[in-house]
Structure 1
Amino acid sequence: MSIGILGTKIGMTQIFDKDGLAIPITVIKAGPCTVIQIKNLSTNGYNAIQVGYLDKNQKKIKKSEQGHFNKSGSNVLSFLKEYPIEKPEDFVLGQKIKVNDFKIGQLVDVTGRTIGKGFTGLQKRHHFARGPMTHGSKNHRAPGSIGAGTTPGRVFPGKKMSGQHGNQNRMISKLEILGIDDKQSLLLLKGSIPGKPGNLVSIVPH
């Protein structure tokens, strides 16, 4: 049984296969996650489980949060996420979701938040070509025309322009699990995932 698990990106390394080829590896400390709430079709309109990850600072706990976690007998956790399921009866409140619920060779989808790069221009954000650098050109990195004049008299929504770059949720599909360390709750995935070390990630079977 493997549904979904939250984890923290540790970093990247590499291993060598039997032919001596280097394989890039992302190390993730995944779980253990606790089942905080079980939702079913009759009560909530859909089947899902809510899992929590990482103990929260005791000074930041609200009474309303404490009541929600008391139902499952769990400590107050920092992160909550729902995963859709088919059979809610297979889970119980307070159940632990661990890395050994996954299997070596299994393909998973990993969602994380990309590295934020701040306010960037067109070349960096949208890979625009720059203008001529010689012959008196004054258009090196400028955006140029962004729309017609009188008609429509405005800029259409979705126009590619300068702005916030990065810091968005991205999913990488079909990453293979090459190793599992249940003592330290580590998953070793083939390839890279979004974000920098320390970022929260969600891992679900493909």
Structure 2
Amino acid sequence: MKFILGKKLGMSQVYGENGNVIPVTVVEVEPNTVVQIKGRDKDGYEAIQIGYGTRKAKNIKSAQKGHFKDLGSFAVLKEFRFDSKGKKSRGEEQESIDSANLTVGQKIDVTIFTPGDSVKVTGTTKGRGFQGVVKRHGFHGMPASHGAHSVLRHAGSIGQRFPQHTLKGMRMAGRMGTNKLTTRGLKIVTVDLENNLLAIKGAVPGNKGGLLMIQSQG
């Protein structure tokens, strides 16, 4: 399994072999560092912990300094999980951690990917603030004529006479966005080794500058 952390720079477009325009998301991928390899015997699950980015040493807690050792001052730590039992998740065969063939302190960069690779990208969606039910949940709203007044984008009834309380899970207005989202079935279009950039076909979750987890699929 191939995986790496990167930063979303924004969208652009490239031209294919036939001259057709391909919309792509450009991701900046600085070299990642393997910080820890977790095993089932000691940690209860299998995962590889990756460090990405840098921050000032004064902002790192003493416990983190001991964990990082001499590997660097990382801004972000993320884990990529494995399963040696070969279980399937969302129809995908889970690989053993031994197949990664990585060691603590090893660097991971864009060279692990090649154009045409299928990947899934996980990020945090854009925050939309407090939104009503029409935008947040796709409600159709109330009738716009025949005496309707000031209720066009209202939610309508949120319950019944009995039981005399609002049921859990009722879709209502509230904060929208800033959720973890994974987009699957994306393709690597180009790999820029000189500038540490990946061009991924289509859109990926999140704002410009947002952290992305890129993982091979299939």
| Superposition TM-score tier, normalisation by shorter sequence | over 0.9
The whole-number CA distance in structure 2 between the counterparts of 1:84 and 1:45 is 11
Answer whether contact 1:5 1:31 (CA < 8 A) is retained: no
- Number of the residue aligned with 2:59: 60
Task: Give the deviation of 1:24 after TM superposition.
Answer: 0.1
Task: Give the deviation of 1:39 after TM superposition.
Answer: 1.2
Residues 114 and 87 (structure 1), Cα distance of their counterparts in 2 relative to 1, 3 Å cut: closer
Q: Residue 41 of structure 2 aligns to a residue in which SS?
A: helix
Spell out, residue by residue over 1:153-193, the C-alpha distance to the aligned partner (whole angstroms, 9 max, x if none): 11111111101111111111011001111222111101010
Aligned sequence identity (%)? 39
- Number of the residue aligned with 1:115: 126
- Number of the residue aligned with 2:113: 102
Answer whether contact 1:9 1:27 (CA < 8 A) is retained: yes
Code of the aligned partner of 1:133: A
The whole-number CA distance in structure 1 between the counterparts of 2:51 and 2:207 is 21
The whole-number CA distance in structure 1 between the counterparts of 2:2 and 2:123 is 17
- Number of the residue aligned with 2:28: 29
Answer whether contact 1:36 1:52 (CA < 8 A) is retained: yes
Moved more, 129-138 or 171-180: 129-138
The whole-number CA distance in structure 1 between the counterparts of 2:119 and 2:17 is 24
Spell out, residue by residue over 1:33-86, the C-alpha distance to the aligned partner (whole angstroms, 9 max, x if none): 10001112222222221110001222311111111000xx31120111111242
Answer whether contact 1:119 1:163 (CA < 8 A) is retained: yes
- Number of the residue aligned with 2:209: 198
Unaligned runs of 5+ in 1: none
Query: TM-score, with normalisation over the residues of structure 2?
Result: 0.88
1:37-186 pair list within 5 angstroms? 37-70=36-69, 73-85=70-82, 86-88=96-98, 90-138=101-149, 139-149=151-161, 151-186=162-197
Q: Residue 172 of structure 1 aligns to a residue in which SS?
A: strand
Code of the aligned partner of 1:163: G
**What count of residue pairs does the alignment treat as equivalent?**
202
Q: Residue 25 of structure 1 aligns to a residue in which SS?
A: strand
